[in-house]
Structure 1
Amino acid sequence: MDIQQLYYFMNIVECGCNLSLAAKKIHITQSALSQLIINFEANEELTLFYRKNGRLDSLTPSGEKLYAYAQQITKLHEQMNEMVRKEAAKQKGTIRIGLPSLILRIFFSSFFPKLMMDNPNIQLEIVEGGSNYLRKMLFQNDLDYAILIEPTSLDPKSFEEHVIQIDEMTAFVYHTHPLAHKKKLAWRDLEPFPIATFNETYTTYELVTEKLAAEKSEAQIKLTSSSWDYLVEATQESNIVAVLPSPIERTIDPNLFVEIPFKDPIPFNVLLCRPIKGTYNDVEGLVYESILSYFYQPIVD
C-alpha cells in the first residue's frame, strides 16, 4: 500500500468497517474502496478483514498488525510533511515566533509590521498562546523564538534567554470596589473577594497560585480566562479582583477600572528565548538582534 491507500485503510477501520460511511467521509466511491481491499488481499495473499454476509465485519490478527503499522507510518508521514514545511519556510526567510497575546498587543503591535516593511525578505509567522503552551512548542522545535514569562524552566545549556521587559503583577478592580481606595494591597486583603486571572496555560496562573500559597492566603481563584479584557470587565458586575500583569493598565478605561499595586508584588519579567545552535542564518540573526535592540534602548542622562 502507498501512503494514500494506508489512509484509506485506516479510515475503513475507524468507520467500523462500514465501507459506505468510509467512502462518504473521504469522498471516493464505495466500489473503489472495496476494490482497494480486494486487490491488496489478492496480491499479498493476506486477509485483512473477517466477513459477515459478504460485508466487512472486523480486522483479522494480520489486519490489526497492519493497522498498528499504518498508524505509526501515517503519523511519521505527517511529521515529515510538517518538517518539510518548516524547513521550506526557513529557506524562504520565514521565522516562527510565539508570544502571549497580551505581549503581542502591548509591546510588539508596531514592531513586527515595521520590521517586515524594513526587511521585505523576512516573513514572520506569529503563534499566540500562554507561556506554558509556547514553552512546549519551543521544546519540540516548533518555534524559532518564544517570548516567555519568567521563570521559563528552560535548560540554560539548551536555550538562551534575554530579559526584555521588567514589570509586576497588579490588582484590577471596578471603581466602586471596596478596595478601590487603597494605594497598595497586601495579599491577605484579597481574602474576602473572588480572584480572577489567566488560565492554566499561562505562567501567570502558576505564579498567582504559588504566591497565594506562600502568603497562606485563603483567597481563591474563581475565574480564569485567556482574555485579559474579559477578566477586567468581569469586575464590573461583582467584587472580583483581577490579578494580572501591570501592562494591561494601558488598555483599560481609567474612569471605570482601578489598578492597585501590591506591597510584595509578583514579578512579571518578559524574556526572549531561543534554542542554542552552532550557527544561525542571516534572517534568524537579524530578527533576534532587532528585537533586542528595540527593547534595549540607550539611557540618556
Structure 2
Amino acid sequence: MLDLQKMSYFMAVVEQNFNLSKAAQSLFISQPALSNAIHAIEKEEELTLFVRSNGRYTGLTPCGKYLYGECKFLFRKYNQILEQARRIESDDSETVTIAAPPFLLRSYAAAILLALKDRFPQVEFLFREADEAGLKRGLLKGHFDIGLITEPNDYRSAGLFVVTIDQGRFMAVLENNHPLAGREILEWREIVPYPLAIPGPHFPTYDLIVNSIRSRGLKPKIGIATSGWDFQVSCLLKTDYISLMPEIVRNYFTKEMDEQLKMLPVNHPIAWRVAYCENNHIRKTRTMQEIRAAILAMYNIQCPEN
C-alpha cells in the first residue's frame, strides 16, 4: 500500500531533481535504503514512475507526473487536518457557518470573508446554500450560525434576530432587441404582458415580486421560475422574456451579457432589502459576538446589545 511515508520518499526524489543522494540526505536515510524503497513502491504498485537513463533517474513518466501531483495535494490536505486538529486540541479554533440563498452567497460571501479572515485567523468560515425555509430551519436548530436573507420574511415571528444590512431596488432586465428595450423607464403595465423569468417559489423573492405586481391590480405572467439568476438571464436571449432582478446583479454580468442585455429602471420599483439573521436563543461565544459586530459594522450598523 502506498502510505504517506512512501509518498514522502517518492516526492523527495522528485524535489531533489532526481538526485538520490540529496533526497536521502533530506530524509535522513541512506541512499541504498531510499533506492530500495523506490524500487519496492514500483514493484508493489506495478507502476513505472521514473524515466531512467543509464541506471539514473532523469524524469517522471506520465504516471509519475500524475502521482506526484496527487501526492502534493494529499500532503497539503494532511497538513491542514493536523493544523485543525491542533487548534481543536488547544481549544483555540471555532467554525462559523454562514448560510444564504445562492445569489446572496455570490453577492456577499466574498466581501464578508475578506473582511473577517485576517481579523479572525483561528476561525474556519463555512458557507452553505439554503432556501428560505431551509435557512430558517437551520438557524433554529443551530446548524447555521449566521444567515443572509431577503426581506420580507417571517424570521422575526419565529424568534430570530433580524436586521437589514443592505438595500436597493429591482430593475427590469431584457434583451437589446426586446420591444421595450428603447424605453428609458418602464411602467408595470408595460411589463406584465410579457413572460417573466424570476426566482422559484421556494425563494422569498418570488412572493415579493408576484405580490408586488398583484398589489398594483395587475396579473403577472410567469414564464419561468428557477433558482439561478444566471439561468434567468440566459432565458432572456432571443426571447421577449423580462427578468426582475436586484440592481446589484449588474456587477456580475459577463461581457456578453453587457453587450446583449439592457437593465432598465421601473417606475415605483420593488425595494430590495437584505437582512442579517441569527438565533439569539443560542449562547454565543465571545468570538461569535465579535464576528456579528464586525459584519454589521461593514454596513455601518451598530451591533445591538445581546
| TM-score bucket (shorter structure) | 0.5 to 0.7
Could you tell me how far 1:277 is from its partner in structure 2? 3.3
The answer to whether the 8 Å contact 1:196/1:241 transfers is yes
Q: Which range moved further: 96-105 or 193-202? A: 96-105
Deviations 1:229-250 (A, max 9, x none): 1111210121000112221111
**Match of 1:295?**
299
Q: 1-side partners of 2:212 and 2:222: how far apart?
A: 12
Q: 2-side partners of 1:188 and 1:123: how far apart?
A: 49
Q: 1-side partners of 2:286 and 2:235: how far apart?
A: 46
**Any idea what SS the aligned residue of 1:153 has?**
coil
RMSD of aligned C-alpha atoms?
Answer: 2.3
Q: Which range moved further: 132-141 or 158-167? A: 132-141
Task: Answer yes or no: is 1:262 the counterpart of 2:263.
Answer: no
**Match of 2:98?**
97
The answer to whether the 8 Å contact 1:172/1:241 transfers is yes
Deviations 1:127-186 (A, max 9, x none): 113334312322333211111111121236822222110112111001111111222222
The answer to whether the 8 Å contact 1:150/1:270 transfers is yes
Letter in 1 for 2:97: R
Could you tell me how far 1:273 is from its partner in structure 2? 0.8
Deviations 1:239-277 (A, max 9, x none): 000112221111123221111121111111001011123
**Any idea what SS the aligned residue of 2:249 has?**
helix
Task: Answer yes or no: is 1:282 the counterpart of 2:283.
Answer: no
* Mapping 1:123-202, distance limit 5 Å: 123-155=124-156, 158-202=159-203
The answer to whether the 8 Å contact 1:196/1:243 transfers is yes
* Mapping 1:1-301, distance limit 5 Å: 92-155=93-156, 158-252=159-253, 253-277=257-281, 279-296=283-300
The answer to whether the 8 Å contact 1:198/1:244 transfers is no
**Could you say if the C-alpha distance between residues 133 and 279 of structure 1 is closer, same or farther in structure 2, counting changes exceeding 3 Å?**
closer
Q: 1-side partners of 2:268 and 2:133: how far apart?
A: 24
Letter in 2 for 1:164: I
Q: Identity over aligned residues, as a percent?
A: 20
Letter in 2 for 1:282: R
Letter in 1 for 2:245: L
Q: Which range moved further: 201-210 or 157-166? A: 157-166
Q: Which range moved further: 113-122 or 169-178? A: 113-122
**Any idea what SS the aligned residue of 1:243 has?**
strand
Q: 2-side partners of 1:122 and 1:100: how far apart?
A: 22
The answer to whether the 8 Å contact 1:97/1:126 transfers is yes
Deviations 1:184-224 (A, max 9, x none): 22211123211010111211101111112212223311101
Q: 1-side partners of 2:209 and 2:111: how far apart?
A: 30
User: TM-score, normalised to structure 2's length?
Assistant: 0.63
**Match of 1:62?**
none
Q: Which range moved further: 128-137 or 254-263? A: 128-137
The answer to whether the 8 Å contact 2:100/2:131 transfers is yes
Q: 2-side partners of 1:153 and 1:297: how far apart?
A: 22
Q: How many residues align?
A: 210
Q: 2-side partners of 1:97 and 1:91: how far apart?
A: 20
**Match of 1:11?**
none
**Any idea what SS the aligned residue of 2:125 has?**
strand
**Could you say if the C-alpha distance between residues 218 and 152 of structure 1 is closer, same or farther in structure 2, counting changes exceeding 3 Å?**
closer
Deviations 1:44-64 (A, max 9, x none): xxxxxxxxxxxxxxxxxxxxx
User: TM-score, normalised to structure 1's length?
Assistant: 0.64
Could you tell me how far 1:91 is from its partner in structure 2? 8.2
**Could you say if the C-alpha distance between residues 137 and 297 of structure 1 is closer, same or farther in structure 2, counting changes exceeding 3 Å?**
closer
**Any idea what SS the aligned residue of 1:109 has?**
helix
**Could you say if the C-alpha distance between residues 157 and 229 of structure 1 is closer, same or farther in structure 2, counting changes exceeding 3 Å?**
closer
The answer to whether the 8 Å contact 1:165/1:269 transfers is yes
Q: 2-side partners of 1:192 and 1:167: how far apart?
A: 25
Q: Once superposed, which parts of structure 1, at least 4 consecutive aligned residues long, lie more than 6 Å away? A: none
Q: 1-side partners of 2:194 and 2:296: how far apart?
A: 40
